[in-house]
Amino acid sequence: MADKVEFELVLPERLLVSEGADMVVVPGEEGDFGVLPGHALFLSGVRPGTIEIYNGETISDRIFVAGGFAEVTGERCTVLAEEAVNLAEVERASVEARINDNEQAISVANPDEDMTEYENDLGIGRALLEALDGP
């Protein structure tokens, strides 16, 4: 499979994707990066966004990740993520409800309460909604 890069997306509970691709585009912390066969060794944090898997010049899959880490070698791109979902399986209403629930929790919170969890989940929900609205 020298003409393909092996892509793996690993969640804590399971291997979500393992397939060969012509190119994989990952939302890195410092910007999106593309991985082709023969790529140089590379490590990066992954921000909330969409991984695009290409076969030929066509995007065959779009997967939202809530963040994580990516390891790239000449033959493989492995992304370790806490949360990931294929965008084809996401219902817009559930994402909007997630955003509304977090906004509501933040608005009624006590000023001394730690809002970090709600704020992080709100950011992920907004990034997911943006991914749904993307190309």
- Give pLDDT tens digits for 19-48: 999 999 999 999 999 999 999 999 999 999
Neighbours of 87 (CB within 10 A): 16
pLDDT of residue 126: 94
Whether CATH 2.60.15.10 fits 5-87 = yes
Domain ranges of the chain: 5-87, 91-133
pLDDT, tens digit, 9 for 90 and up, residues 53-73: 999 999 999 999 999 999 999
> What are 66's two structure tokens?
């809530």
Question: What does the pLDDT read at residue 111?
Answer: 81
Q: Residue 37: helix, strand or coil by DSSP?
A: coil
User: What percent of the chain clears pLDDT 90, i.e. is strictly above it?
Assistant: 84
